[in-house]
A = this chain, B = another copy of it.
Amino acid sequence: MTRVYLAGPDLFVHDAVNIGRRKVELCARHGLIGLYPLDNAIDPAAKDTSLRIYRGNENMMMEADAIIANLTPFRGPGADAGTVYELGYMAGRGKLCLGYSNDPSSYADRMRKFSDVNSRDGRLIDALGLTVEDFGLSDNLMMIHALDLHGCALVTPRQAPVDIWHDLTAFETCVRMAAGRLASTHAGAKS
């Protein structure tokens, strides 16, 4: 059975274990094994806890055939850094990459909520004078096109759900697409 690494800042939500359980269940319903980082057995009192977590997550990624990354903006205008690192890692290893964001707005529109954004010399700039990427994409082009080229285009809802951390509709769409893609890959490998 094929394995999917479940990346996201879900880990930082108060009921992270519960979210992981629901995600793994949705994977099972579509014939996939979901690997959720919190399922790594790490002793929080151990020395080098953070290094053990890294190794546990990297081992899970090595085992997985695909990643579903929760790219919902986290603590700022864009996605969670740890999740983005993992998406890059899986793309680098040639694994199937999927992702979703529960916020359908563009990066540039979102930036306007965080900073004064102005036009200067044909580019958008924030209050510090740093260029704001303005391609109409949901987030930094590297993640968005990584999904286009290494898997399936970013999934977003038409409207942000009321509870962006617990609504798993867009996640389930990714699971369904991953199951379809992985099934056809495996069928191809067998034929």
Contact = CB atoms under 8 A, between A and B. Distances in A.
A11 interface: yes
A50 B144 CA distance: 10
Contacts of A75: 76-78, 114-115, 126, 130
Nearest to A137: B50
Nearest to A11: B131
Interface of A: 9, 11-14, 16, 49-51, 53-55, 57-58, 74-82, 84-93, 114-115, 125-126, 129-133, 135, 137, 139-146, 148-149
13 contacts: A14-B129, A51-B148, A54-B149, A75-B77, A75-B115, A78-B81, A81-B143, A82-B141, A85-B87, A86-B88, A86-B142, A89-B92, A92-B92
